[in-house]
């Protein structure tokens, strides 16, 4: 996929606390410029792959933060989030920011997962 995903892992007494941040930037530029829904799904899919690579999955996600550049498009971001987390919706926060690194980026997603039953790392 080529997206940038940052991971912070804090193992603690039988559980791992994972924090992911993903952006829509990939080699060659921003994924789906102008499409809030597609950019959100793209970020979430990169986070999902990172979770799977660590032996976890989306049901381990407990918090999602969406940093968006145009809150008036909230329904597009929400639709992508709702579809992605249909079975296990985590708590979420959407915050409007004045800009992201590239003007074509509409969203940056941060997700926190807590894994009790998985071997992580």
Give, in order, the Cα–Cα distances in Å from 98 to each of 18, 27, 35, 70, 107: 27, 24, 17, 8, 11
Q: Whole-model pTM?
A: 0.81
Contact 91, 63 (CB under 8 A): yes
Tell me if 25 is assigned to some domain: yes
What pLDDT shows up at residue 28?
A: 74
Q: What angle do CA 119, 47, 8 make, to 5 degrees?
A: 60
Tell me if 86 is assigned to some domain: yes
| Number of domains composing the chain | 1
Q: Is the pLDDT of residue 4 over 50?
A: no
Reported as a pLDDT band with limits 50, 70 and 90, residue 108 is very high
Mean pLDDT value across the chain: 83
Contact 103, 35 (CB under 8 A): no
* Candidate from 17-31, 83-97, 98-112 with smallest mean pLDDT: 17-31
Q: Is the pLDDT of residue 78 over 90?
A: yes
* Beta-carbon count within 10 A of 4 CB: 15
What pLDDT shows up at residue 25?
A: 66
Tell me if 120 is assigned to some domain: no
Tell me if 121 is assigned to some domain: no
Give per-residue pLDDT as tens, 21-60: 666 766 778 999 999 999 999 999 988 998 888 888 899 9
Tell me if 20 is assigned to some domain: yes
Q: Which domain holds residue 88?
A: 5-115
Question: Percentage of the chain with pLDDT > 90?
Answer: 55
CATH number at residue 99: 3.30.1330.40
């Amino acid at each position: 996929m080529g997206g940038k995903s940052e991971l912070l892992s804090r193992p603690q007494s039988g559980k791992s606390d994972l924090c992911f941040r993903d952006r829509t930037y990939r080699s060659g530029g921003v994924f789906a410029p102008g499409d809030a829904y597609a950019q959100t799904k793209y970020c979430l899919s990169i986070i999902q792959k990172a979770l799977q690579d660590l032996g976890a999955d989306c049901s381990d996600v407990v918090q999602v933060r969406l940093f968006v550049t145009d809150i008036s498009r909230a329904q597009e971001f929400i639709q992508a989030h709702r579809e992605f987390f249909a079975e296990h919706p985590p708590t979420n926060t959407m915050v409007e920011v004045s800009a992201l690194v590239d003007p074509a980026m509409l969203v940056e997603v941060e997700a926190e997962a807590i894994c009790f039953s998985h071997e992580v790392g």
